[in-house]
Chains A and B, each alone.
Chain A
Amino acid sequence: MADRRALLRVGAAGLAAPLLAGQAGCGRADPNLLRFWAMGREAEVAPQLLAGFERENPGLRLQIEALPWSAAHEKLLTAFAGDALPDMAQMGNSWLPEMAALGALEPLQPFLDKSRTVDKADYFSGIWATNEVAGRSVGLPWYVDTRLLFVRTDLLARAGFERVPRDWNGWLRCMAALQATGVATPLLLPTQEFEPLLALALQQRGELLKDGGRRGNFDSEGFRQALRFYLLMFQRGFAPGLSHNQVANVAQEFGRGSFAFYITGPWNIGEFKRRLPAALQDRWITAPLPGPLPEGVPGGGPGASVAGGSSLVVFRHSQRKPQAWKLIEYLSRPAVQQQFYRLTGNLPPRRSSWALADEGGRSLAQDRHASAFAEQLERVRPAPAVPEWERIAQEMQLFATRAAFAGVDLEETVRGLDVRVDAILEKRRWMLDRSAR
Chain B
Amino acid sequence: MTLPAHPPSRARRQTAAWAFVAPALSVIALFFAVPVLLGLALSLSDFDIYALADLGNLRFVGLGNYGQVLQMPLFWQALGNTVYFVAFGVPLSIAVSLGTAVLLQSRLARCKPLFRTALFAPVVTTLVAVAVIWRYLFHVKYGLVNHALLSLGFDPVDWLGDPQWAMPTIILFAVWKNFGGNMIIFMAALQAVPQDLYEAARLDGAGPWAQFRHITLPNLAPTTLMVSILTTAGYFQLFAEPYVMTQGGPLQSTVSVLYLMYEEGFKWWNLGTASAVAFLLFLIIVSVTQGLLWLARRLSGGRA
Contact = CB atoms under 8 A, between A and B. Distances in A.
A22 interface: no
Nearest to A395: B74
B141 interface: yes
A427 B251 contact: no
A69 interface: no
Contacts of B54: 4, 103
A98 B50 CA distance: 9
Contacts, number: 71
Nearest to A430: B59
B249 A103 contact: no
B38 A11 contact: yes
A14 B162 contact: no
Which size bracket describes the interface of A in this complex? Answer: 20 to 34
Interface in A204-254: 242-244, 246, 248
Interface string A420-435: 0000000110110000
Given A242-B250, A398-B252, A101 B49 contact: yes
B47 A248 contact: no
A225 B49 CA distance: 34
A101 B53 contact: yes
B252, B269, B271 — which one has the most chain A CB atoms within 10 A of its CB?
Answer: B269
Contacts of B268: 391
Contacts of B35: 11, 14
A242 B161 contact: yes
A267 interface: no
A6 to B, nearest CB: 11
Interface in B237-281: 249-252, 265-269, 271
B133 to A, nearest CB: 15
Contact of B49 (A77, A243, A244, A401): A77
B300 interface: no
Given A74-B267, A77-B52, A431-B57, A243 B161 contact: yes
A427 B267 contact: no
Contacts of B48: 427
Interface in B134-175: 139-142, 158, 161-163
A60 to B, nearest CB: 30
A402 B268 CA distance: 22
Contacts of A74: 266-267
A248 B50 contact: no
B248 to A, nearest CB: 10
Interface string A1-26: 00110011011101000000000000
Majority-rule SS of A interface residues: helix
A126 interface: no
A248 B141 contact: yes
Given A243-B161, A248-B141, A248-B142, A431 B251 contact: no
A192 interface: yes
B267 A73 contact: yes
A405 interface: yes
Interface in B47-82: 47-50, 52-55, 57, 59
B279 to A, nearest CB: 15
A101 B42 contact: no
A406 interface: yes
Contacts of A431: 50, 57
A81 interface: yes
Contact of A401 (B46, B158, B251, B267): B251
A77 B38 contact: no
Given A80-B52, A243-B140, A243-B250, 9 more contacts: A11-B38, A12-B265, A103-B53, A242-B162, A243-B162, A244-B161, A246-B161, A248-B141, A387-B49
Can you list the 9 inter-chain pairs with the closest CB atoms, starting with the nearest?
A243-B158, A102-B53, A243-B162, A4-B55, A11-B38, A243-B161, A246-B161, A12-B271, A74-B266
6 contacts: A7-B55, A77-B49, A98-B49, A242-B163, A398-B251, A401-B251
